[in-house]
Amino acid sequence: MPKLDLTAPSIDLTRTICDIPSVSDDETALADLIHEAVLALPHLEVYRDGDTIVARTNLGRSQRVAIAGHIDTVPINDNVPTRDVAIDGEPFIWGRGTVDMKAGVAVQLKLAHDLADPRVDLTWMWYDHEEVDADLNGLTRLARTRPDLFEADFAILGEPSNGTVEGGCNGNLRAIVRTHGVRAHSARAWIGENAIHKAAPVLARLADYRPRAILVDGLEYREGLNAVRIDGGIAGNVIPDLCEIEVNYRFAPSRSADEAVAHVKSVFDGFEVDVVDIAPGARPGLDAPLAQEFLAAVGGEPRPKYGWTDVARFSAMGVPAVNYGPGDPHLAHHDEERVPLAQIVDVERGLRAWLT
């Protein structure tokens, strides 16, 4: 494996790190390269925990900004290695991770190299397991072992936001809704009770559900409630006694975790509901002084972030945080994931201008 060359342009760095597969649980090769590259930078103090790497300046500035990005991706689907493509004449890098979020990480690595003398102290964080259960997230681990590393006055997550500032994020809840029946031979179905048939009203409630759009601190958050998995059945001649529907609720940052749980339980009233994962959202936090400064420096109208991101983690720790990165979030996880070169350059320029 060649070394990472942080003197290369961030566009080239994007191609390089996208071509190193790092699907969740398989981040070590990329983490090793990042670790090696930042260890070589004398202006940074480096800490590693598993496949999470933290690199900090210690210049005694009055303020500190944390800038973070996850290095894992969702599974590859014939979209690695990257390709250069043009759409309506505009150049893109196409492939898994280009949007979510290795272009953002490439910009961060480039700036971590270049900014030896920023106007605030910087804490760079590159972490593993963001695309899977919150329990496995590298920042969850780090928050337990080294909460001091999260101390900052403001945080920027490089999640894709089309190069504009996206404030806060929706919360994220997953739950299993279960229906139960009684097994029987399907030739004599009347002896049993079909658990899959009993799931009909669960799917009907999901199909009829009209998600809300909620204004929080001036930004409108769209919610969503979806089945993401359904599973039932034993054999082709057996009436099934269990059906499981996994639902995913994305909830506005004005709702607490408890309120989100209560809402899901009320939607599926009368059914067994088992919450398996919950991560509260984060209010936009755009009224913080550093956030205002940052907004003024990079320009554009701030927007709400729909997907859950680790801004919620910083927010819960009292650190105002926003998303700011290259790539269209609608293309995250998409097989045609692709990032415009211009956004990579713009985000690098925006961050560099504000930090120097």
Residues that bind a second copy (CB under 8 A): 74-75, 131, 133, 170, 172, 174, 183-191, 194, 196-200, 203-204, 206-207, 211, 222, 224, 226-240, 243, 245-246, 248, 250, 277, 306-308, 329-330, 332-335
In the complex with a second copy, which residue's Cβ is closer, 239 or 355?
239
In the complex with a second copy, which residue's Cβ is closer, 213 or 215?
213
- 310 catalytically annotated: no
Q: Tell the smallest beta-carbon distance from residue 160 to a second copy (Å).
A: 10
Active-site choice (72, 153, 310, 328): 72
- Distant-in-sequence, close-in-space partners of 310: CB < 8 Å, separation ≥ 6: 68, 70, 130, 137, 139, 157, 321
Q: Exposure pattern of 115-128 as b/e (b: 16+ CB <10 Å)?
A: beebebbbbbbbbb
What tokens were used for 302? 């701030």
Q: Tell the smallest beta-carbon distance from residue 52 to a second copy (Å).
A: 21
Q: In what order do the strands lie in the sheet with 272-279?
A: 242-251, 171-180, 272-279
Q: For the residues of 263-298, what is the DSSP string, one character each?
A: HHHHHTTTSEEEEEEEE--B---TTSHHHHHHHHHH
In the complex with a second copy, which residue's Cβ is closer, 50 or 186?
186
Active-site choice (51, 100, 128, 130): 130
Where do we find the tokens 């504009």? Answer: 164
Q: Tell the smallest beta-carbon distance from residue 226 to a second copy (Å).
A: 5
Q: Tell the smallest beta-carbon distance from residue 29 to a second copy (Å).
A: 22
Rounded (5°) CA angle 261-265-267: 120
- 130 catalytically annotated: yes
In the complex with a second copy, which residue's Cβ is closer, 110 or 250?
250
Task: State the helix-helix crossing angle for 341-355 and 289-298, rounded to 10 degrees.
Answer: 130
Catalytic residues: 72, 130
